[in-house]
Chains A and B, each alone.
Chain A
């Protein structure tokens, strides 16, 4: 089944404790992206990757890191999480540039930072 998977689905952590949210897709998509969803703010892009070893900042990259060492994986790293990073996070992938093609979203990761 074609899908985007994220782990963990739920995470509660404390301020400053490094964490990684994994994202994997099995559709051989070139483009992958991370979004955060907050009430009243919709979906905002954090980082995106056009292909392996190519990443770029989205609208809200502060406090996040990403890497794209393999085509199928695109982990999101929070080196020192803070309470304002409490949010619902979605990973997405698409065949070509995400601006012009259908994006397939993962199920989401709900992160709480205390």
Chain B
């Protein structure tokens, strides 16, 4: 079945630095790649998504890139702020939506 690998599992950056989280997937039929942010004590919330006919998508400080040939996609957060601290999940959607194991991002001021 589909497998989604996410790295790193933890990431610590200084405020203002950039953060990059990478995911790989196994099912070549996947064509929807969302990223969710989970703050402490809350459910995951969609922050950005990309579909397979697009290579890159930006929304203010957040960007996602997709390489379908290599089956990997990445989340880029620029100018990180303390409120970016959270757990981030990537997912790949094909016959089912499969989540990565999550990355705990800590932004220190």
Contacts and interface: CB of A to CB of B under 8 A. Distances in A.
Contact of B34 (A40, A58, A102): A102
A99 B97 contact: yes
Given A42-B101, A100-B32, A105 B93 contact: no
Interface residues of B, number: 24
Interface in B42-96: 42-46, 49, 89, 93-96
A107 B31 CA distance: 27
Q: How large is the interface on A (under 10, 10 to 19, 20 to 34, 35 or more residues)?
A: 20 to 34
B60 to A, nearest CB: 18
A105 B32 contact: no
Nearest to B32: A100
A61 interface: no
Interface of A: 4, 35, 40-45, 58-59, 90, 92, 98-103, 105-108
A43 B44 contact: yes
B25 interface: no
B43 A41 contact: no
A9 to B, nearest CB: 10
B49 A45 contact: no
Contacts of A107: 41-43
